[in-house]
Chain A
Amino acid sequence: MARSHLQQVLASDRFAVTAELTPPRSASPEWIRRHIVHYRDVDAVNFTDNVSARVKMASLAACVLALREGLEPVLQITCRDKNRLAIQSEIIGASALGIRNVLCLTGDHQSRGDHPTARGVFDLDSIQLIRMVRRMRDRHVLDNGAVMKQPPNIFIGGVANPFAQPFEYRPLRLLKKVQAGVEFIQTQAVFHLSIFERFMEMVCDMGLDEQVSILAGVYAAKSARVLEYMRDSIAGMRIPEELIRRMGCAGDQEREGTGIAKETIAQLRAIKGVKGVHIMAVGWSEAVSILLEECNLDRRPEKAAIPVASQTPQ
């Protein structure tokens, strides 16, 4: 049975690159074709799950569309919209469809999204979710202890926000996720390098960098306005004012945006314990391919070996 390509890249010690793509608020299956050219060279593409509590095409559906085009998807699952039954059946189904990576999150609260009158589920939290999924895969059991015939074949991810409070607790929370069974981590976008360096120092001191593959978040902003919007509307997001000013003063803001992201990637590559980067360029897919090319992270040989869904009979 085919293994996760992302898992193989991380096991091979090659610097990994993942990127995030927000599914559309549209039922058009053609949508993926407009973006695919920019994601060809990344190791895996995350499809968000009703990101910021806003209704979009399901992550699972977007993952299947991506598989058909030969991309390796990462299914995102939040605890906001689904209880433990729905999550388990989704994991089983995703594996059957050939999806090999799952990212487990708690999710933004519904009151911050576009359906604030909705009831949130929050049956589990992200750590309980990670533990449940890991036990499904390794111990072949559902949450109730019932044994499954064929376990899901998935690489299990989680997230970390080194910039949210309480700062000193963040490495301990990562430790807890590792104990719960997480195998790779994608962090919130790094804008404060010194805070991130301190976080990674503590993580390495605890030996966690040996137990989990950490991909540092990189945000490519199209304009100063995008940064301002993120600062004001995304929970736990801190963006330095100098950075917003630097973007605002630039003649070509797009050029400046990829330039800043490129600098960040170079700085992150030098930090001990960073196994790759996770690129976020919301609404600006072109930035992903530009960054890969400029950072010499394109032309990744093993990418061609990724099986598509139709070639992985179960």
Chain B
Amino acid sequence: MDARAAVNGPLHQLVYGVERVVKGALFGCKMCGQCALSSTAFVCPMRCPKNMRNGPCGGSTDGMCEVDPSMPCVWCLAYQRSKKLGRIQKLLEIQPNLDWRLSQTSSWINYVTGRYRPGSGGNHGA
């Protein structure tokens, strides 16, 4: 089903609005529509200017972002928090290529309706 059509109904609009407000306030969520927070110890990877979904690039200096040195590297944060919460194993899951059609839709609805599965990339043989 076309992902765009799914967000036109009033129920979807409502869920989308709630998700946006709640996750935006808590995690700086960018509403990619295919949430990876559960594998990043709840640091939104879409805050990375390079959309890194699978870990940090090689550019962070002293824990700060190479693009905006006033911003902490989200992957440094994700690693520290994963370590603290005992979730390092989750960081090792390969996040699949993004489905950009889902951008600005509700990942809750997308999850329930099976449009994405977090960490479902698997290795190259999968």
Contacts and interface: CB of A to CB of B under 8 A. Distances in A.
A159 B94 contact: no
A140 interface: no
A175 B93 CA distance: 11
Interface in B91-110: 91-92, 94-98, 100
On chain B, which size bracket covers the interface? 35 or more
Contact of B124 (A80, A84, A111, A135): A135
A183 B51 CA distance: 24
A236 B124 contact: no
Contacts of A172: 55, 88, 91-92
Interface in A137-182: 138-139, 143, 159-161, 164-166, 168-169, 172-173, 175-176, 179-181
B59 A235 contact: yes
B60 A109 contact: no
Given A123-B100, A235-B61, A181 B55 contact: no
B17 interface: no
Contacts of B121: 128, 131, 180
A108 B58 CA distance: 9
Given A123-B100, A138-B124, A169 B56 contact: yes
11 contacts: A108-B66, A109-B50, A125-B50, A125-B54, A128-B121, A166-B75, A166-B80, A172-B55, A173-B56, A175-B92, A176-B54
8 closest Cβ pairs, A-B complex: A161-B58, A181-B124, A235-B59, A235-B66, A127-B54, A134-B124, A179-B123, A236-B59
Interface of B: 49-63, 66-67, 73, 75-76, 79-80, 88, 91-92, 94-98, 100, 121, 123-125
Given A130-B124, A131-B123, 9 more contacts: A109-B50, A126-B57, A128-B95, A168-B79, A180-B124, A181-B124, A235-B59, A236-B59, A236-B60
